Structure 1
Amino acid sequence: MATSDRGSPEAELLRGFKTLAVTRPDPAAAVYEVRLNRPAQRNALSPEAFAEIPRAMSLLDRLPAARAVVLSASGPHFCAGIELGGPGNPLAAPLARGADPAAAAEGIRRAILDMQAALTAVELCRKPVIAAVHGACVGGGVDLVAACDIRYCSKDATFVLKEVDMAIVADLGALQRLPGIVGYGNVAELALTGRRITALEAREMGLVSKVFDSKQELDAGVAKIAKEISEKSAWAVMGTKAVLLRSRDITVEQGLEHVATWNAGMMKSNDLMEAIKAFVEKRKPVFSKL
């Protein structure tokens, strides 16, 4: 999939990652997969992972060949949470004995904000990001999938916000994003008890949209859904994501005004006329490239 131009965004995207594997599994589909790729560490989020996730999302955001993104993981588990004990731990220096309390507090705050921004990059990617979760999804892994647009999982998946048992407050987005996904009461119970929930419980509360019987079926099913999304008008898909995110944080009235303004410009696209023409002619539309 890499082009002959080694300086192109696609060529840059497909190389140089250590904690991720970024690929285009099907050359015929405008779908890219970002796979957490540290199976020996159960895909724990290391400092390097926090640097590479926003880089991958930024590249995919501006890559014309990418119209949908699947976020998955290698090995038996999706993500064991944040790796705090490894080299380069951003909290190590601020927590060191003898550090000035004010400097330590500011160091911790900056480290947390940097990690938050890394996961928010998933949300800010204009292309829809679909999470495919299997095995254990712990702590920071839940923060990561909460930033995705759609979530699916296999029957063996489990989810847990473990931070309360570590005497800390979950701080990378789950407490802010999950109430809008599963409701305040469900998040409060998960965050305050540290209880592990099954795939079926996650489906019942709306954390995931569907549960697949196996990882193989999960991968195939999510690939099919991502391909279907990628074949729709890219402007309509990106606009839908943008409006959904904007409407989440404002009033209904403000959201209606925002989408009216958005469509005032975007309904001039060639894709709209192509969609109407294809409907009349009873054929599949051929939408414009980005």
Structure 2
Amino acid sequence: MEYRALTVTIEQKIAHIVLNRPAELNTMNVDFWRELPHAVRQIDEQASARVIVISSTGKHFTAGMDLGVFMNPKNISVHGDPGRSAENLRRLVLQLQDAFNVLETVRIPVLAAVQGGCIGGGLDMISAADCRYCTEDAFFCIKETDLGMTADVGTLQRLPHLIPQGMIRELAYTGAKLPAQRALDIGLVNAVYPDQESMLSAVQQIALEISKRSPLAITGCKQMINYTRDHSVQDSLSYMATWQSGMFRPEDMMKAFSAKAQQMEPDFEDLHPIKPPFAAE
């Protein structure tokens, strides 16, 4: 795919996806909704990287949804039978949700690096990432109530697992800005940096450390953490035992022990690419 809203690069097994419409405040237009899930899935399916970093350009990370997506009559039918129009809108919302669900369902970690404003759909997106980092000038905002609607692409479902209930409710009800330091205090972000350059340098180093670990062990961690969020402790322990019985392989452990003894970095095998069903050999 030729990307218009994004740039995608891969170096040292780290994929870097950059929102690249700074003049438009990186609003999420139709191109964005098509390209982001495509890029993320392709990286995972080809096993071309072991971690994804998502960052942005310009003053703000993103001003959120481009309202043209909802206003375009090609996307939403407002005429004719109300039931069919409602089903059409529901289908569109599910498609938008799926664009961010992919950040959770891919096998590799996704790190979000935020500068400036992360508004509306931006918060939906980063709440689906594994880890979040930001600059001192960053702020986060559930803007939808200011527009007379309820946030519908993941913020209200994921943030209650990341920050206190009272805080998510206050942000959702008021549309207030959550500044960087407060975001750090309540656990929304892992760290705050003076500027974008220092943030990207630090996040790149974190991504590099992840890329050196066994990809099989890392994807196991992601699977288990996501699973336990939505299940009981006992169910999660049972699932962990099942996963371990099928996925545990001593070869990676032996490589790790041997490399440590030799004071070297272990050389782990990549995950296998994902082949579509009945793909030609």
Q: Does 1:247 align with 2:233?
A: no
User: Which residue number corresponds to residue 114 of structure 2?
Assistant: 133
User: Which residue number corresponds to residue 37 of structure 2?
Assistant: 54
Q: Does 1:16 align with 2:2?
A: yes
Distance 1:117 1:86 in 2: 15
What is the TM-score of this pair, normalised by structure 1?
A: 0.89
What is the TM-score of this pair, normalised by structure 2?
A: 0.91
Relative to 1, partners in 2 of residues 1:49 and 1:147: Cα closer, same or farther, differing over 3 Å? same
User: Which residue number corresponds to residue 143 of structure 2?
Assistant: 162
Give the alignment of 1:256-267 within 5 angstroms: 256-267=237-248
When structure 1 is superposed on structure 2, of 270-279 and 246-255 the one drifting more is: 270-279
User: Which residue number corresponds to residue 276 of structure 2?
Assistant: none
Distance 2:69 2:47 in 1: 36
Distance 2:45 2:251 in 1: 20
Task: Give the deviation of 1:210 after TM superposition.
Answer: 0.2
Task: Give the deviation of 1:93 after TM superposition.
Answer: 3.2
Structure 1 ranges of 4+ moved more than 2 A: 85-94, 276-286
AA aligned opposite 1:101: P
AA aligned opposite 2:14: V
Task: Give the deviation of 1:90 after TM superposition.
Answer: 6.7
8 A Cα contact 1:53 1:121, kept in partner? no
When structure 1 is superposed on structure 2, of 15-24 and 156-165 the one drifting more is: 15-24
Distance 1:134 1:83 in 2: 19
Relative to 1, partners in 2 of residues 1:87 and 1:16: Cα closer, same or farther, differing over 3 Å? farther
Distance 2:187 2:257 in 1: 34
Task: Give the deviation of 1:288 after TM superposition.
Answer: 2.1
User: Which residue number corresponds to residue 154 of structure 2?
Assistant: 173
Distance 2:219 2:133 in 1: 20
Q: Does 1:210 align with 2:191?
A: yes
Task: Give the deviation of 1:88 after TM superposition.
Answer: 7.7
AA aligned opposite 1:147: A
AA aligned opposite 1:266: M
- 1:205-238 CA-partner distances (Å, limit 9, x unpaired): 1110000010010111111110110111110111
Relative to 1, partners in 2 of residues 1:156 and 1:207: Cα closer, same or farther, differing over 3 Å? same
Distance 1:191 1:209 in 2: 22
Structure with greater contact order relative to length (CA < 8 Å, sep ≥ 6): 2
- 1:17-58 CA-partner distances (Å, limit 9, x unpaired): 11110012xx4x210101111111111111221111110111
Distance 2:70 2:129 in 1: 28
User: Which residue number corresponds to residue 68 of structure 1?
Assistant: 51
Q: Does 1:149 align with 2:130?
A: yes
SS class of match (2:170): helix
User: Which residue number corresponds to residue 185 of structure 1?
Assistant: 166
- 1:162-201 CA-partner distances (Å, limit 9, x unpaired): 1111111110000100111112221111101111011101
User: Which residue number corresponds to residue 221 of structure 1?
Assistant: 202
Relative to 1, partners in 2 of residues 1:288 and 1:90: Cα closer, same or farther, differing over 3 Å? farther
Distance 1:89 1:57 in 2: 26
Counting aligned pairs with the same residue, the percent is: 39
SS class of match (1:93): coil
8 A Cα contact 1:47 1:88, kept in partner? no
Task: Give the deviation of 1:282 after TM superposition.
Answer: 4.4
Q: Give the counterpart of 1:277 among 239, 258, 266.
A: 258
Gaps of at least 5 residues in structure 2 are 272-281
8 A Cα contact 1:91 1:108, kept in partner? no
AA aligned opposite 1:202: A
Q: Give the counterpart of 1:101 among 56, 66, 82.
A: 82
Q: Give the counterpart of 1:110 among 64, 85, 91.
A: 91
Relative to 1, partners in 2 of residues 1:225 and 1:283: Cα closer, same or farther, differing over 3 Å? same
Task: Give the deviation of 1:264 after TM superposition.
Answer: 1.6
Q: Report the count of equivalent residues.
A: 271
User: Which residue number corresponds to residue 278 of structure 2?
Assistant: none
